[in-house]
Structure 1
Amino acid sequence: MTKVRRAAKKRGPAPLADKRDQYLRLMAQGMSNSAACREVGINRRTGTRWRYGRKEIDRTGRERVYAPITEQPDDGAISARFLSEDERIVIAEMLQAGGSLRTIAKELGRAPSTISREVRRNRDPRTGRYRPFHAQRRAAVRRARSKQGKIRRDPELKEFIQDHLDRRWSPEQISQALRTTFPDEPDRHLAHETIYQAIYLPHRGGLERRADTLRTGRQARRRRRRVDQRATRFIDPGTLIGQRPADVDDRQVPGHWEGDLVVGRGNRSAIGTLVDRTTRYVKLLHLPEGRTAEHVRDALLHAFADLPAELTRSLTWDQGSEMCRHDEFSRASGIPVYFCEPASPWQRGSNENTNGLLRQYFPKGTDLSVHTAEDLTAVAAELNNRPRKILDWQTPADLFAKLVATVE
């Protein structure tokens, strides 16, 4: 049997192009950025730049935006459901040896109709012979689609969208306006996601990407992760807020606390804040030596040491790096720690409100290391003795004192 073989053609300078292709394949299979970078042997930041693009400032001070790498490696198979170049080579060899279509299909693990359709569509129309590399090119041409998209191909449509973007319309508003303006032209009806992609990838979509194109000011898509894939970034991933007991949400059971850090000028100093979800009672953590995970862990243990177990049921925090030793704190205190979803401060509403009140005493941009432990105690006492509307004009200090007296 005559062997039909051809050396694979490399794209770009090796070995970087090979690593990029391997990285894209792993990401397409659902692997995380960190895992794909470890597998390929590149820095995690390199993979992030490939996936999301990057911005650089050149010598003249001008900002240059590099689009993300989205093209799939050209290895002859876009998807497993398409025949690859190697499979076409096998088809050619077995046809030359007199094999039937069913025999070829069985050999490749394909349906006989797939092999029949492949031979009929991609054989040489002049000679009737099936040549694998010729068939591969014919299949690629047939599968190819325009990369320009509707907006780039239609100047009037592009002008309409760009004009409304300049008037501060959102892509979703523009999407609805297109249906009203061009009711009888469905080819000009676009989903708002299409407009977003035309902005984020101007080399394909044709729209201008500037800092003021979108009201958010973004020039690149914000990274997101599916809800079922989210986790904390610590060695011990901890427990997300969705697994917190249901009785925490109704605020009827005391002893469930929310915590955070109030950060000073240049992120060089900080004060820890704790608030009980039921009574709104406030405790402040003195961090004179820094806000590392060790300092925060020790300050939390000290703050909860004098409280009865009935008033230390749980602690909810954000995913700041200062809590990466949460497992050590939980083992030492017996208090479980729950973490909010990323960029979701409303999941610690009481604590966020308290932090806003504390800024009257500790303004933003000031050095918080100048405040002593006695200063923090005085501020906490002032807040705790202030009547609150949400507590029917009772004070957090009175309510918390009653609870302490009840459980002791």
Structure 2
Amino acid sequence: MDFVIRQDRTQRGPRRLVAERAAYFQLMEQGYSTREAARIVGIDLRTGKRWRNGHHSPDRGRKPVPPIYPLPGGAVDQGEPALPTSRYLREDERIHIADRLREKASVRQIAAELGRSPSTVSREIRRNRRPMPRGGFFYQPFQADVRARNRRARPKAGKIGQCSELRDFIQDRLTRRWSPEQICQALRAAFPDRTEMHVVHETIYRALYVQGRGELRRELTRSLRTGRAARRPHRHAYKRLPGPIKNMVMIRERPAEAADRAVPGHWEGDLIIGKNGKSAIGTLVERATRYLMLVHLPAGHTAMATRDALATTVQSLPRHLWRSLTWDQGSEMSAHRSFTVATDIPVFFCDPASPWQRGSNENTNGLLRQYFPKGTDLAAHTPDDLAAVATELNSRPRKTLGWETPAERLAKLLATAS
């Protein structure tokens, strides 16, 4: 501690020992005894005790001063305070821990004697111990009890609200439509040695949905995938029952290499439908890299229009990256045979009401609804608009890819092939 004792404290009349008092309290918080803290600061032991214990009767016209360690609930000399619940360690238990530590007892022995979990005792010692100048540590039960009581006080600001740098980082990524889990991983990658910049995704959700905390702006909920201002329970989506498609090849006949995502080139496809079912956008997701391609359908989403648009889109990537296409049983894929003849890409169909068989595509379609909300006219979007959205999604880090982006994974495949 960088503190220099003021030599001249009586010249020009008595002066308040403001710096000494602050340094004294800092030493007490670090676990120093009253005598040792008074010696380091350069004050009389009686003065240190008076600062620590306060005084309750006016002295020389001064007002009463409360002790620096108030009793629980604000009670001062009003009898025994109420004991905390059994969930928390009591002061007598902390005294027992300190006594047994001096006797070199193990954590498990202490926990058994107190009827507590060993992890409870271990955490208590780790949180409240203080290092010694010559190595090792010491545990003081009374200071530990005060620190624990202060930590338990509510309400208290959340982690995001306490750090403006963390809050700005999260808000910036939310405006770019990153998910909370993607943000958490980016924080750990950007600040590996700063634990104050590490949060879990639930912390971000709570900062958004639990208002009154003042941590994140409420309007940022619109940047989430759902765009909801409040949490809702999961519901079963309505399942459409399309008409039968002739000559379907079911997903069970798809090559086994497509199931484990080890070999790239197997795609999942579907449509997102616009207002009144009159407009649509085709979505193609590669299973191994999660790379997204959007299909422009200006002529509608009939079977012929979908076939021609898909045949044009697949030509933008090398042929070895198109091994199969998996689709649901929508009527827009009724011309699958002619599509296969034109592109040499086999089409496999999912079982009825089984969207999990195209999980990557279903997940991506949900992300796309941030850009193309339900009930809007999708025909208003140009091919350049679709390309911009696909580029933004392909630039997001993905947990399933070890926090790489789909664009990075695809670039590696193209580099290897070349």
TM-score by length of 2: 0.42
TM-score by length of 1: 0.43
- Structure number with larger C-alpha Rg: 2
